[in-house]
Structure 1
Amino acid sequence: MARNPIQFQPGLSLPAFLAQYGTEAQCQAALFQHRWPKGFVCPDCGNTTSCRLSRGLYQCHHCHHQTSLTAGTIFHATHLPLTTWFLAIYLLTQRKNGLSALQLSRELGVSYNTAWKLKHKLLQVMLERNQGETLSGRIEIDDAYLGGERSGKRGRGAEHKVPFVAAVQTDEEGHPQRVQLRRVRGFTRTEVHRYAQLAIIPGSQVISDGLGCFRAFDTPLYTHERIITGSGRASAQIPAFNWVNTVLGNVKNAITGTYHAIRGHHVPRYLAEFEYRFNRRYDLKAMIPRLLAVAVRTPPMPYRLLKLAEPYT
């Protein structure tokens, strides 16, 4: 059997990563290039000339405003070396199934709380980057739940479960191209209509099961094919839903296999992590610079905000 070229791509080895980002100076240079690709720009007045002070700050020649390399970014006010941040980015982007905060703390040599905050700040970058992305063409879509208690009622309507929409865009040969995993308030026609307006390009062919909320796609904007699947294992084997069922299985295995439990209001970040990696799986080596480019444009996320529930997408 021929090997999947995407699955067996080399990625970025640890020695190659360390050669590129192994020192603080290398990380600073990379961060500067992503933040100011055409040279320094004062965040206050827009002037492009500056001097660097002994404390590592950049001072604008025009207004004398002082700023650091990390100020106003997701790295804002960090006490960690950039090498630690970059290693965390490497570990979170190059692994297929993610990494728990506990394991991340061991690999980085930091406390659990520090690893948790670092990880969730990077997942926040992925979450915010995903929000503007849309799907088009042929799209398989399904409802799903994640999180909550392990015991008690299961499935639709279970306590503390977080509902989300899973959608997979496929090409003409039926191969998966992109995935969306977006939290919703519930599976109502109004809520799915709101999701569709934000995430599905008009003219797309949407394939769903018989759940009533998906009638939101019964408009001239979409070609909607409803397939009544029933329940049980047989419904998961219908060819029309092959990839959305496969993705949902992989998501739940990756998340439940890596984390013992996740709080409901953090679910969107975990989903965003899977979505971000899946949609950029074609070039593993490029994932680090791509995430850095977004990270320097993501506003600071203090711990008090990390603990709060994320807004609905």
Structure 2
Amino acid sequence: MATNFKLTARARTLSLREVFTMGEDKAYDLFRQLRWPETDGAAVCPKCGHDKAYEITTRRKFKCKACHHQFSVTSGTIFASRKLSFTDILAAIAIIVDAAKGVSAMQLSRDLDVQHKTAWILAHKLREAMASETASHTLSGVVEVDGAYFGGHVKPANKKTDRKDRRLSENQTGKRRVVVVARQRQGRTLPFVHEHESDGVETVSKVIDNGSTVHADEASHWDALHATFPTLRINHSEAFSLNGVCTNQAESYFSRLRRMVRGQHHHVSARYLAAYAQHAAWMEDHREMDNAAMAKRVIGLAMGHSVSRNWKGYWQRTKV
């Protein structure tokens, strides 16, 4: 039987020991190369685009020769105004990409010896960078669609006589949300968060290319897909897969997300569920990539991402 890729040496190409022994200078050089790959790490002014700059080595800053604008390697990126060292950021990324089912902010804060809120914000910034990779992506070929509900748990009363039917809407918290996913076989995974699964029909229709074949379960709201796409249905009360029709790839994604939410984060509010859903989708799509390549990919996405409007100044309740 073939060995799972994650268990082979080819998957382990980066370790925390290597991160902390490489030193701050090498970590800084790595961020430079991934910020400006077209010039092999040579600074390019983010203001005017000029590729010639003076290097202020004492402060790790640059001054553009054309417009005299001063900038750093993280200026204008999701890491703008960072306080952590490049080694700590690289270590955080290595920890996150190694955690197949996510890592809690509490654990990350202890590993990095930083405050919980620092680790929490950093993790969310990285999730935003991951999500940007598929911001305008569409799916084609065979696409599986499905939905799963998260959150809104209602704890039953102690005495049986005091317990209520938690299936009724009047006895629910209103915080329960559904993650609707569209997943292309041998392709990308696109999750969306809605209040009801039926709300996701229109959303997934917009990200699936014409001519694609859709696989869905027997839920009645997916009937609307037949008008736009060749749609095949699977009745899960009879079989999970039948004649090649299934939603197993979508269920595989939900398996990872459920373990992430229940096993690591324990509670995810509806406000941030989309970020965790996108994180799980990114991890699922890159599961066959070695961890050094995954870390470099995340750094590249973060360095190519603009300043976060959601997370910069979050604790001060300010927006960019």
* Kept in 2: contact 1:163–1:185 (CA 8 A): yes
Is 1:283 aligned with 2:283?
no
Q: How does 1:129-278 map to 2 (within 5 A)?
A: 129-151=133-155, 153=166, 159-170=174-185, 177-188=187-198, 191-197=200-206, 199-220=207-228, 222-229=229-236, 234=237, 237-239=240-242, 240-278=246-284
Q: Distance in 2 between matches of 1:155 and 1:94?
A: 40
* Kept in 2: contact 1:11–1:283 (CA 8 A): no
* Kept in 1: contact 2:19–2:87 (CA 8 A): no
Q: Distance in 2 between matches of 1:306 and 1:148?
A: 25
Question: Equivalent pairs: percent with the same residue?
Answer: 27
Amino acid at match of 1:292: I
Q: 1:150 to 1:258 in 2, by over 3 A?
A: farther
Is 1:41 aligned with 2:47?
no
* Kept in 2: contact 1:40–1:49 (CA 8 A): yes
Larger radius of gyration: 2
Report how far residue 178 of structure 1 moved. 3.8
Q: 1:235 to 1:78 in 2, by over 3 A?
A: farther
SS at match of 1:136: coil
SS at match of 1:291: helix
Report how far residue 145 of structure 1 moved. 1.5
* Kept in 2: contact 1:236–1:245 (CA 8 A): no
Aligned CA RMSD, in angstroms, stands at 2.7
Q: Distance in 2 between matches of 1:70 and 1:260?
A: 33
Amino acid at match of 1:117: I
Report how far residue 159 of structure 1 moved. 2.5
Report how far residue 129 of structure 1 moved. 2.0
Amino acid at match of 1:289: K
* Kept in 2: contact 1:74–1:299 (CA 8 A): yes
Aligned twin of 1:99: 103
Aligned twin of 1:121: 125
When normalised by structure 2's length, the TM-score is: 0.82
Q: Distance in 2 between matches of 1:235 and 1:165?
A: 22
Amino acid at match of 1:187: E
* Kept in 2: contact 1:149–1:159 (CA 8 A): no
Report how far residue 228 of structure 1 moved. 4.2
Q: 1:162 to 1:60 in 2, by over 3 A?
A: same
SS at match of 1:188: helix
Q: 1:131 to 1:307 in 2, by over 3 A?
A: farther
* Kept in 2: contact 1:125–1:295 (CA 8 A): yes
Is 1:22 aligned with 2:18?
no
User: Which runs of 5 or more residues in structure 2 are unaligned?
Assistant: 157-165
Report how far residue 167 of structure 1 moved. 3.0
Report how far residue 200 of structure 1 moved. 1.5
Report how far residue 87 of structure 1 moved. 0.4
Q: Distance in 2 between matches of 1:286 and 1:256?
A: 28
Q: Distance in 1 between matches of 2:222 and 2:249?
A: 18
* Kept in 2: contact 1:101–1:119 (CA 8 A): yes
* Kept in 1: contact 2:152–2:177 (CA 8 A): yes
Moved beyond 6 Å, runs of 4+: 155-158
SS at match of 2:30: helix
When normalised by structure 1's length, the TM-score is: 0.84
* Kept in 1: contact 2:149–2:176 (CA 8 A): yes
Bigger mean CA offset, 275-284 vs 35-44 = 35-44
* Kept in 2: contact 1:143–1:166 (CA 8 A): yes
Q: 1:75 to 1:84 in 2, by over 3 A?
A: same
SS at match of 2:184: strand
Q: Distance in 2 between matches of 1:245 and 1:167?
A: 11
For this pair of structures, how many residues does the alignment match? 295
User: Which runs of 5 or more residues in structure 1 are unaligned?
Assistant: 172-176, 309-313
Deviation track 1:25-83 (CA, whole Å, cap 9, x = no partner) reads: 11211111121221322122222111112322210111111111111111110111111
Q: Distance in 1 between matches of 2:15 and 2:167?
A: 41
